[in-house]
């Protein structure tokens, strides 16, 4: 491998934003046929480095070489012409277009008279989807795809231009375990074809399964580049956080009282799900496991009043409750932490502080006027509790790194309080050091007697933190596990029932 010249090389890159230096003197290279992983804490500068390699941003200083030639990647199409492609961390698909249209957006095959050749387009989309062994109908509308499927479409989109260097920014953040394996296999195939692959992920197991070399970024500096076979997770984590990592396990402080906080009986919504029943006691965490399309997300939305329910009954603290809007649900003590932080969790143009305050504006009201001091005080408190990396309270949420945006979503709901928390993938895109912090924050909620309904994309995480797990498959509850009975096999069996 080492006898090859690098496909892409960046040298002494520096990039600053108002209030933060995102990258300082970073050098990085990718050899043909290798997976070079890039890891680091939230806000370390990974996404920034990738967007510089992909022409989304220009560095303040430093040099980029493609096959030894110095190049200026002024914008992504220049990068594409140099056969460098990026799979986004965040989903940037057009929901109103079909899967095929999204995959080939801007690169549609042209038929006679320059018209878009729809047949060829579907064939091409099909071919790319097949190449990574995914069964999604290219004619489907992207808006109705689940987050997971959208992520796959995003990956297909990068493959269209037949790149030599392929850059992944947390491609598996929203994927289920089995799909992660799927994706890793696809990447191995691409690597075998001689592509150079840059891979960013917070899931170190995955990084070690895939990477040849690992570069660690810390506070905008490349602190180490290590061959994967010669190092270990512990060493990498130490480089990431710059000290010995905090213990990873969260001791659950409670496993629930006897009092039932939320009872759901034979809940059904259209064709989405039917006859869903479960109870959560105060102080308990109930996990819902299930594969793509099991509709566990729909159940949460229905409970939160964001999706109409037509059958069954919901009891909160013993009293019937049929919220018809999120507002009503919140008034009854529900909180909802969505996985799609950009689309549903945050108002990106608003500031960090304003986003946190959004769930409880009335608390900062003095005759309708905003009590700014009180609001900012609370916002700082939340930001510190979750060690969110922000330049100031007035920084726009858009400018935060992915993991820090995730923390913001959690902050705004923990600050709000409530009785029943519906939590979707709370550690998506959060670094290994910060994950326990988030789990601890959720554990703390249960210590205060709150009930938590939890969905995660990683089954292991769900098993680590939940007190009980129910399994859903095609809109029905197919299994129920108490903590001592948790097993990957047992849950997987129910998930395909």
Partner 1 sequence: MSAVGDTNAARSAPAIRRPVPFRAQIGGLSRIAILLLLVLTAQLVTPSFLAPANLQVILMAVAAIGVMAIGMTLVVIAGEIDLSIAGVAILACVLGGILIPTGSPVLVIGVTLLTGLVLGLINGILVAGLRIPSLIATLGMLGIARALANIASGGQALYPESIGPYVWLGRGTLLGLPVPVLILLALTILAIALTRFSIFGQALYATGGNVKAARLSGINVAAVRIAVFMLCGFCAALAGMLDSARLSYINPSGFEGIELSVLAVTVLGGAALSGGKGTIIGTLVAALIIGVVNNLLNQLGVSIYLQQVAIAAVILAVVLPDALKRESGK
Ligand X SMILES: Nc1ncnc2c1ncn2[C@@H]1O[C@H](COP(=O)(O)OP(=O)(O)OP(=O)(O)O)[C@@H](O)[C@H]1O
Q: Which residues bind partner 1 (CB under 8 A)?
A: 18-20, 218-219, 241-243, 304, 306, 325-327, 330-331, 336, 338, 343-351, 353-354, 357-359, 361-362, 364-365, 368-370, 372-373, 376-377, 380, 383-384, 387-396, 412
CB of 206 to partner 1, least distance (A): 25
40 binds, among partner 1, ligand X, Mg ion, none (CB under 5 to 8 A by kind): ligand X
- How far apart (Å, rounded) are the C-alpha atoms in residues 127 and 123? 6
Q: Which residue, 411 or 494, is less far from partner 1 as judged by CB?
A: 411
- How far apart (Å, rounded) are the C-alpha atoms in residues 18 and 8? 28
Is 57 a residue that touches Mg ion (CB under 5 A)? no
Closest CA to 303 of 470, 461, 452: 452
455 binds, among ligand X, Mg ion, partner 1, none (CB under 5 to 8 A by kind): none
383 binds, among ligand X, partner 1, Mg ion, none (CB under 5 to 8 A by kind): partner 1
Structure tokens at 256: 């629930």
- How far apart (Å, rounded) are the C-alpha atoms in residues 239 and 145? 38
| Footprint on residues 18-47 left by ligand X (CB under 6 A) | 20, 22, 40, 42-47
Write down the residue that tokens 């409530």 correspond to: 418
Among 90, 212, 399, 444, binds ligand X (CB under 6 A): 399
Count residues binding ligand X (CB under 6 A): 20
How many Cα atoms occupy the beta-carbon half-sphere of 479 within 13 Å?
28
248 binds, among partner 1, Mg ion, ligand X, none (CB under 5 to 8 A by kind): none
Among 7, 30, 41, 47, binds Mg ion (CB under 5 A): 47
C-beta of residue 138 within 8 angstroms of C-beta of residue 15: no
CB of 401 to ligand X, least distance (A): 3
Question: What's the CA angle centered on 28, arms 27 and 32, to 5 degrees?
Answer: 150
In what side-by-side order are the strands of the sheet with 451-455?
334-337, 420-424, 451-455, 285-290, 468-473, 476-482
Q: Give the gyration radius of the chain's Cα atoms.
A: 23
400 binds, among partner 1, Mg ion, ligand X, none (CB under 5 to 8 A by kind): ligand X
- How far apart (Å, rounded) are the C-alpha atoms in residues 379 and 412? 8
CB of 41 to ligand X, least distance (A): 7
Q: How many CB atoms lie within 10 A of CB 495?
A: 21
| Footprint on residues 406-465 left by ligand X (CB under 6 A) | 429, 431
Q: Which residue, 47 or 457, is less far from ligand X as judged by CB?
A: 47
- Per DSSP, the residues of 211-242 read -SEEEEEETTEEEEEEEGGG--HHHHHHHHHS
CB of 437 to ligand X, least distance (A): 13
Question: Cβ contacts of residue 109 below 8 Å, gap of 6+?
Answer: 116, 117, 120, 121, 124
Is 402 a residue that touches Mg ion (CB under 5 A)? yes
Among 263, 400, 415, 495, binds ligand X (CB under 6 A): 400
Is 290 a residue that touches ligand X (CB under 6 A)? no
Question: Cβ contacts of residue 480 below 8 Å, gap of 6+?
Answer: 278, 468, 469, 470, 471
Encode 440-486 in three state secondary structure.
HHHHHHHHCCCEEEEECCCHHHHHHHCCEEEEEECCEEEEEEEHHHC
| Footprint on residues 147-166 left by ligand X (CB under 6 A) | none
Where does this chain touch Mg ion (CB under 5 A) — which range of 40-48, 76-84, 108-116, 127-135?
40-48
CB of 185 to Mg ion, least distance (A): 24
CB of 320 to partner 1, least distance (A): 21
Q: Which residue, 432 or 469, is less far from ligand X as judged by CB?
A: 432
Residues of the shown chain interacting with ligand X in the complex, contacts defined by CB under 6 A: 17, 20, 22, 40, 42-48, 389, 399-404, 429, 431
Residues of the shown chain interacting with Mg ion in the complex, contacts defined by CB under 5 A: 47, 401-402
């Amino acid at each position: 491998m080492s006898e090859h010249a690098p496909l892409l090389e960046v040298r002494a890159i520096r990039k600053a934003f108002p209030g933060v230096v995102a990258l300082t003197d970073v050098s990085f290279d990718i050899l043909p046929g290798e997976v070079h992983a890039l890891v680091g804490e939230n806000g370390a500068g990974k996404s920034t480095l990738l967007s510089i390699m992909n022409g989304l941003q220009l560095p303040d200083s430093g040099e980029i070489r493609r096959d030894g030639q110095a190049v200026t990647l002024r914008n992504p199409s220049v990068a594409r012409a140099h056969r460098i492609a990026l799979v986004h961390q965040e989903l940037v698909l057009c929901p109103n277009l079909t899967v095929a249209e999204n995959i080939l957006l801007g690169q549609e095959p042209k038929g006679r008279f320059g018209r878009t050749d729809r047949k060829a387009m579907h064939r091409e989309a099909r071919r790319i989807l097949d190449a990574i062994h995914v069964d999604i109908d290219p004619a489907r509308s992207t808006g109705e795809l689940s987050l997971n499927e959208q992520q796959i479409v995003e990956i297909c989109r990068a493959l269209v231009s037949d790149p030599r260097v392929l850059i992944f920014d947390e491609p598996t953040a929203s994927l289920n375990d089995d799909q992660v394996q799927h994706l890793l296999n696809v990447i191995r195939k691409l690597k075998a074809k001689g592509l150079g692959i840059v891979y960013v992920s917070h899931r170190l197991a995955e990084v070690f399964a895939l990477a040849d070399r690992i570069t660690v970024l810390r506070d905008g500096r490349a602190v180490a580049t290590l061959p994967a076979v010669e190092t270990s997770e512990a060493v990498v984590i130490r480089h990431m956080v710059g000290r010995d990592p905090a213990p990873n396990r969260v001791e659950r402080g409670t496993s629930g009282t006897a009092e039932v906080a939320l009872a759901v009986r034979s809940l059904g919504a259209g064709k989405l799900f039917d006859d869903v029943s479960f109870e959560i006691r105060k102080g308990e965490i109930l996990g819902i496991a299930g594969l793509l399309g099991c509709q566990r997300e729909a159940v949460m939305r229905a409970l939160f009043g964001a999706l109409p329910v037509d059958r069954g009954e919901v009891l909160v603290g013993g009293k019937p409750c049929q919220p018809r809007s999120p507002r009503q649900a919140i008034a009854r003590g529900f909180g909802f932490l969505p996985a799609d932080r950009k689309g549903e969790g945050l108002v990106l143009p608003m500031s960090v502080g304003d986003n946190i305050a959004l769930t409880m504006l009335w608390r900062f009201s003095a005759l309708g006027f905003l009590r700014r001091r009180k609001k900012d005080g609370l916002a700082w408190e939340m930001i510190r509790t979750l060690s969110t990396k922000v330049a100031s309270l007035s920084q726009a949420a858009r400018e935060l790194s992915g993991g820090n945006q995730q923390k913001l979503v959690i902050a705004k709901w923990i600050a709000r309080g409530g009785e029943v928390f519906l939590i979707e993938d709370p550690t998506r895109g959060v670094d290994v050091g910060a994950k326990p912090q988030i789990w601890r924050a959720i554990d703390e909620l249960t210590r205060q007697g709150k009930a938590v309904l939890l969905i995660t994309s990683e089954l292991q995480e769900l098993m680590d933190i939940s007190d009980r797990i129910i399994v859903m498959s095609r809109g029905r509850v197919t299994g129920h596990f108490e903590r001592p009975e948790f097993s990957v096999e047992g849950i997987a069996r129910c998930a395909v029932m």
